[in-house]
């Protein structure tokens, strides 16, 4: 599902050039779940951005679902994302002026799907929010907002789900409930999952963990030393 080879990614910020990813190799099989651990600033979010085509590599190769992302233009990348990628963030990134149902329907509408609203309703029912369709994000608890974000991420049946500290803004109990739901949906749909987290217990629920440090990956086993 994922095949990253010798990925370098540098960005020019206010303070000059920053070499964020420095020779990353990563292969993830279809249906596999993998967690990425590592300290703040290591480059974890940037790696997810490269996987979703939201940041362009400086060099190297990023293949997702058999598609070489470095060969796509902006339209091609947008089409690729709609067809293959679901994303869940730490802060839920819902549109505040849209109801739960409208938020979930949004990616389907972008993709030109006709019954977007009924599919969104089904997806929200799947996350236990069938009674909250018409609520705005501000009228939902943190855990409920993240469940809306999960429904939105899964609604178009992505082959690859990218999750960036999805429980970082939730208390422990709510976070566990959200992750139970995420793994349930992942299993049910056979979705490949790349999960960035600081939580080792959460990471251990994945098939495999890797550790990122200074823009490079290593297998978790040798990382703690
Ligand atoms: N647009 C940018 N321009 C320049 N530098 C950037 C840019 N975005 C991120 N960086 C730098 O790249 C490094 C990696 O950032 P990234 O967000 O990928 O880290 P992270 O591992 O996700 O950290 P955290 O655990 O805190 O979320 C950081 O040092 C950050 O300051
Ligand atoms: Mg991050």
| Domain contains 51 | yes
pLDDT, tens digit, for every residue of 145-201? 999 999 999 999 999 999 999 999 999 999 999 999 999 999 999 999 999 999 999
Q: Would residue 132 count as lying in a domain?
A: yes
Residue 76 belongs to what domain range?
2-219
Whether 205 maps to a domain, the answer reads yes
Residue 103, domain CATH: 3.40.50.300
**Based on the structure, what is the number of domains in the chain?**
1
Is the predicted pLDDT of residue 222 greater than 50, yes or no? no
- Please tell me the predicted confidence (pLDDT) of residue 221: 54
Q: Which ligand is nearest to the CA of 46?
A: 1
Task: Give the pTM.
Answer: 0.94
Domain assignment present for residue 77? The answer is: yes
Region for residue 124 given its phi and psi (left: phi exceeds 0; alpha: psi -120 to 50; beta: otherwise): alpha
119 domain-assigned: yes
Q: Is residue 183 part of a domain?
A: yes
Q: What is the DSSP letter of 9?
A: E
Residue 13 Cβ < 6 Å to ligand 1 = yes
Q: pLDDT over 70 for what percent of the chain?
A: 97
Report CA(195)–ligand 1 centroid distance (Å). 17
Mutate-to-test residue for ligand 1 from 44, 50, 168, highest number of ligand atoms within 8 A of CB? 44
How far is residue 137's CA from residue 77's CA, in Å, rounded to a whole number? 28
Residue 225 placed within a domain: no
């Amino acid at each position: 599902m994922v095949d990253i080879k010798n990925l370098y990614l540098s960005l020019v910020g206010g303070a000059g050039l920053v070499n964020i990813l420095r020779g990353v190799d990563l292969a993830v099989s279809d249906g596999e779940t993998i967690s990425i651990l590592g300290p703040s600033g290591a480059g974890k979010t940037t790696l997810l951005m490269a996987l979703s085509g939201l940041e362009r590599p400086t060099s190297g190769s990023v293949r997702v679902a058999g598609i070489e992302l470095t060969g796509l233009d902006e339209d091609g990348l947008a089409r690729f994302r709609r067809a293959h990628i679901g994303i869940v963030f730490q802060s839920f990134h819902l549109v505040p002026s849209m109801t739960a149902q409208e938020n979930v329907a949004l990616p389907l509408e972008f993709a030109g799907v006709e019954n977007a609203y009924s599919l969104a309703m089904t997806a929200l029912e799947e996350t236990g929010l069938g009674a909250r369709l018409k609520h705005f994000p501000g009228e939902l608890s943190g855990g409920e907002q993240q469940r809306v974000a999960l429904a939105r991420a899964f609604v178009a049946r992505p082959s690859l789900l990218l999750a960036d500290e999805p429980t970082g803004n939730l208390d422990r109990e709510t976070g566990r409930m959200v992750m139970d739901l995420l793994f349930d949906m992942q299993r049910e749909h056979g979705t490949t999952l790349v999960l960035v987290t600081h939580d080792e217990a959460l990471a251990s629920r994945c098939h495999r963990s890797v550790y990122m440090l200074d823009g490079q990956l290593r297998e978790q086993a040798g990382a703690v030393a």
